[in-house]
Copies of this chain bind each other. A is one copy, B any other.
Amino acid sequence: MQTVEKLTDTLKNNRLKITPQRLMIFKVLENNTSHPSAEEIYKKVKKVYPSVSFTTIYKTLETLRDLGEIKELTIDKDRKHYDPDISVHHHFICSDCREIYDIHEAFTANIKLDDSLRKDFSVSGFQISFFGVCSKCSNSDRF
């Protein structure tokens, strides 16, 4: 996602309106690496704008996704998560605490799209989901 400042320009260029609620959602997402769910964003925005609705959260997230500013993550079986980091990277989800961690690793360069794959599919991207238990949870398991 761009900076909030640049993002407001992008909205203007698309004849979209800049509202306090939206600005707050942008601020919550800016530099956010916690992969929040809609509810987590809602709760944070609600602290500043108590009357904000889920409708606004979902609509704004949809708008940001359509602008290509954020990515909707389908990795948690229970709910969607949102990622303002649209660069190529992958995720680890802890089966215990459900937290999602970023994985920026060099090995991803080793994934070459095979010709047979190219023939059958027009691949626009891929995403690796790692499963397991994070060190925080595996440590606490010992006690």
Known: A126-B128, A126-B129. A112 touches B107 (CB 8 A): yes
Question: What is the count of identical protomers in the complex?
Answer: 2
Does A68 interact with chain B (Cβ within 8 Å)?
no
Q: Are B72 and A74 in contact (CB under 8 A)?
A: no
Number of interface residues of A (CB under 8 A): 38
Nearest-CB residue, chain B, relative to A109: B110
- Residues on the B chain within 8 Å of A116, using CB: 105
- Residues on the B chain within 8 Å of A58, using CB: none
- Residues on the B chain within 8 Å of A125, using CB: 130-132
Task: Give A110 to B120 CA distance when docked, in angstroms.
Answer: 22
Closest 4 CB pairs of A and B: A110-B110, A123-B132, A124-B132, A126-B130
